Chain A
Amino acid sequence: MTKKLLSDITIDHIRSMIEKDKRVDGRTREEFRPIKIQKNYVATAEGSALVTLGDTKLLVGVKCLVGEPYKDTPNSGVLTTNAELIPMANETFESGPPNERSIEVARVVDRGIREGQAIDFDKLCITPEEEVWKTFVDIHVLDYDGNLFDAANMGAVAALKSAIIPASRFDKGEDFPFPMKHMPISTTFVKLDGYLVVDPNYDEENVARSRLTIATLENGRLCAMQKGLGGSFSRADVEKAIELSLRFGNLIRDQIESAGE
């Protein structure tokens, strides 16, 4: 997947604005773009959410079916996370099987949910050692202007929150709400010209030297981290990032809770 080539003029301009704590869309370095979340967007999914983060738009769908548990966790449900960076979302996205970028996003979102103990997997057990609920979280990027990680994470959490296990359809009893215990929320930063910049848009991502995603929980604990691209972060950067992640985590969590259909 090709990276967009930006002119040296645009790169310099982005950098000189960042130094003045301004960004091309008018934000400061520590501001998120406007977020809009709509739950239950797709009736054919067990749960779903349409997320708009600035000009990035994606749709997450949750599907559940009955299957066999993994041998090493015979009484737990199974979660599979998948991301599709479909070509319509950006001129640099190519058709084909998941590439390393979509795999990374899927795994980071998955990790946040799994390590954050977000799901009560025991409640997803139907018959121990035989039948469990298998949950598929499918992230479908529709329009891409940066920050895949946070948009996908918000979408996944909102979709799971709105999901109903279709037990009656499979003759496994009554339908019940998807068992979510926590809401892990991620915040992504890039290092631009030595500065920490939150929620990068597409151009900023292309100019940035390195990227850091931190997922936090309601109780103020960390549950996942991922550094990406080349470059590096100082310890002070990481401390700042953690502080901001906790703050944004709470704000975004509230938005997901109050999101309507």
Chain B
Amino acid sequence: MGGTPTDIQLLDANGLRLDGRRPDELRPITIKADALKRADGSAYLEWGGNKVLAAVYGPRECHPRHRQDPMKAVVQCKYNMASFSVSDRKRPGPDRRSQEISKIISEALEHVVLTQYFPRTSVDVFIEVLQADAGTRCAGLTAASVALADAGVPMRDMIASCAAGKIDDTIIIDLRKEEDNCGQADLPLGIIPRTGEIVLLQMDGDLSIEEFYTALTMATEACHKISALQKEALRKRYSVAPEEVSDEVEEAIDAIAHGEEVDEPEEHDEKQEES
């Protein structure tokens, strides 16, 4: 970051970007919920040139023990980039950047997960970047939110995240690699779509206060579009057209909601326990 002078024309004569996008246009995004078998919840996301996988285990017993909170669940997120996810191979293992991103994503998620329902547990969120093309923390947080919903972790809402930035004195959203490297500002944002609350916010570069507000507004709009995609991904995976839910299922659902025993008659054996 820092607006290094470059020969690359980030904006052409028509105000279009390198890949032909307008300043307020998102890259193509596809989200698939329930992408893994083992994890309690998961999501796979392709966003422009990004390929990101998110998985959730929990709520489950909290490890390490000393991190346990007697009154609520702790949300522990680990963000990692695969060594082959970038052009110049990255040495495996957490670096300072990954640790910082893990922390801010954990904190964002902690604000939406209804942690009070699961004291002494942890909700473990793992984000793995398999292929990177700028905006990986936003992609990761977006995927992690879908994974949490897929895992049935109680939440206030799913967080949607997108970055805004500035190139050639123009505010844009969803920076790609070249725009991130050669642009003038970068502003990752994460919001709770339902309320507009800001749960992730970083900025580096050079912005006037007006420019910042423009960027914030544009990024917020982008987040709402992304929120729709998150919901669509989950509906696609789990939806049944309402008319299709059979009477039987309705009865069973009613009974369990009412707290009735939907048990079959107890299994009894003549041979009771032998000591």
**A–B contact via C-beta, under 8 angstroms:** yes
Q: State the A residues within 8 Å of B (CB).
A: 41-45, 48, 55, 57, 59, 61-63, 65, 82, 84, 86-91, 95, 97-98, 136, 138, 140, 142-145
A143–B38 touching, CB < 8 Å: yes
Q: Given A87-B124, A88-B128, do A44 and B38 touch, yes or no (CB 8 Å)?
A: no
What's the nearest-Cβ distance from chain B to residue A158, in Å? 14
20 CB-based A-B contacts, threshold 8 Å: A42-B85, A43-B49, A48-B84, A59-B82, A61-B84, A62-B84, A63-B84, A86-B126, A87-B78, A88-B39, A88-B53, A90-B38, A91-B60, A136-B83, A140-B128, A140-B130, A142-B36, A142-B128, A144-B38, A145-B37
Contacts of A140 in B (CB 8 A): 82, 84, 128, 130
- In angstroms, Cα B83 to Cα A62, docked, is 9
A88 to B84, CA, bound (A): 18
Specify which of B38, B49, B55, B78 lies most central, judged by the most chain A CB atoms within 10 Å of its CB. Answer: B38
Which of B21-29, B88-96, B108-116, B257-265 is found at the contact surface with chain A?
A: B88-96
Minimum distance in angstroms from A157 CB to a CB of chain B: 16
Q: Is the pair B53, A142 in contact by a Cβ cutoff of 8 Å?
A: yes
The answer to whether B86 has its CB under 8 Å from any CB of chain A is yes
Question: Is the pair A138, B38 in contact by a Cβ cutoff of 8 Å?
Answer: no
Q: Majority SS of interface residues in chain B? A: loop
Per-position contact with A for B28-50: 1 when CB-CB < 8 Å, else 0?
Answer: 00000000111100100000010
Q: Are A63 and B36 in contact (CB under 8 A)?
A: no
A95 neighbours in B (Cβ, 8 Å): 78
Residues of A within 8 A of B126 (CB): 86-88
User: Does residue B227 face the partner (Cβ distance < 8 Å to A)?
Assistant: no
Closest Cβ–Cβ distance, residue A34 to chain B (whole Å):
13
Q: Which residue of A lies closest to B147 (CB)?
A: A88
Complex: A130 Cα to B47 Cα, angstroms: 41
Cross-chain contact A42 with B130 (CB below 8 angstroms): yes
Which residues of chain B are within 8 angstroms of A98 by Cβ–Cβ distance?
92
**Does chain A have a CB within 8 A of B134?**
no
Q: B82 to A61, Cβ gap below 8 A?
A: yes
**Alpha-carbon gap, A89 to B131, bound state (A):** 18
B87 part of interface (Cβ distance < 8 Å): yes
